[in-house]
Amino acid sequence: MMKQITVIVENRVGALSDVTEILSKSGINIISISAQGFEKSGVIRVLTTDMNTALNDLGRAGFNAIVNDIIVLKLPDRPGELYKITKKLSREGINLRAVYIIGKENDRTVVAIDPEDYTRAVKILEK
């Protein structure tokens, strides 16, 4: 289990820079970051070395930020592995808010999965 910070921002030039500046000034290292823009808003998902400080500092700066649990999996680095996981979850009715690659470790791809029903998703993946 790992925690993720999700920040909802206005979709504008400099929004990502503003968020990363706060983390930088707080001395917080970013493990992984994902950012998407949609029409008028954007979503930034961040994994850091210090979730509590990051959340507090982003909140003090006026950002709408929340923390939630995510599932981190180390999958074999070959075609079809992510499909197996997402198919297993979808068969059980689990909706995914986000999926992104954190990095690589040897012959494994490290993947973050943000399911709407974290507890159920963990139980399904443990089967």
116: Cα within 13 Å, side-chain hemisphere: 8
One domain, residues 58 and 16: yes
One domain, residues 102 and 122: yes
Local confidence pLDDT in tens for the 127 residues of the chain: 799 999 999 999 999 999 999 999 999 999 999 999 999 999 999 999 899 999 999 999 999 999 999 999 999 999 999 999 999 999 999 999 999 999 999 999 999 999 999 999 999 999 8
One domain, residues 7 and 60: yes
What's the rounded Cα separation, in Å, for the pair 123 and 126? 5
Q: Are strands 41-48 and 2-10 parallel, antiparallel or unpaired?
A: antiparallel
pTM (two decimals)? 0.88
71: closest CA among 53, 89, 56, 55?
Answer: 89
* Cα dihedral 5, 10, 16, 21 sign: negative
What's the rounded Cα separation, in Å, for the pair 111 and 18? 26
Q: Which domain holds residue 55?
A: 2-68
